[in-house]
Amino acid sequence: MARKLLIAVVLVYAAALFGAGLAQPDPEPAAPSTQPRSTTATPRTRPPQLVGMTLNLYHLADLQPARQAVDAIAALGCNSLQVVTPIFQDHGGSPIVVSRTGPGFGPTDAQLLEVLRYARSKGFITVLMPQVNFTRPRGNEWRGKLAPPRWSVWWDSYLAALDRFLTLADQADVEVFSIGCELLSTEKPEHLDHWRSVAAHARSRFDGMLVYSTNWDSYQDVGFWDRVDAIGISAYYDLTRGLIDRAQPASAELDARWTAIRRRVLTYAASQNRPVLFTELGYPSLPWALSKPWNYIASPETPADPAAQNVGYEAFIEAWGDLIIPPNARHNRPPDRRVAGVLFYKWDLHANTEADTGYGVAGKPAYQTLKRWLNAAPNR
User: What residues have CB less than 8 Å from 346, skipping those under 6 apart?
Assistant: 53, 54, 55, 56, 84, 280, 282, 359, 360, 361
pLDDT of residue 232: 98
Which helix (H) or strand (E) segment holds residue 126: the answer is: strand 125-134
pLDDT of residue 20: 32
Q: What is the pLDDT of residues 71-124, one digit of tens each?
A: 999 999 999 999 999 999 999 999 999 999 999 999 999 999 999 999 999 999
Q: What is the rounded CA–CA span in Å between residue 275 and residue 201?
A: 22
Global pTM? 0.88
pLDDT of residue 17: 42
Q: Which of 33, 153, 170 is nearest to 89 (CA)?
A: 153
Please identify every stretch of the chain with a pLDDT value under 50, giving residue numbers as ranges. 1, 5, 8-47, 379-380
First to last CA, the chain: 35
Q: What is the rounded CA–CA span in Å between residue 296 and residue 284?
A: 6
Which domains are seen in the chain, by residue range?
2-375 (3.20.20.80)
Main-chain dihedrals φ then ψ at residue 288, nearest 5 degrees: -100, 25
pLDDT of residue 327: 86
pLDDT of residue 94: 97
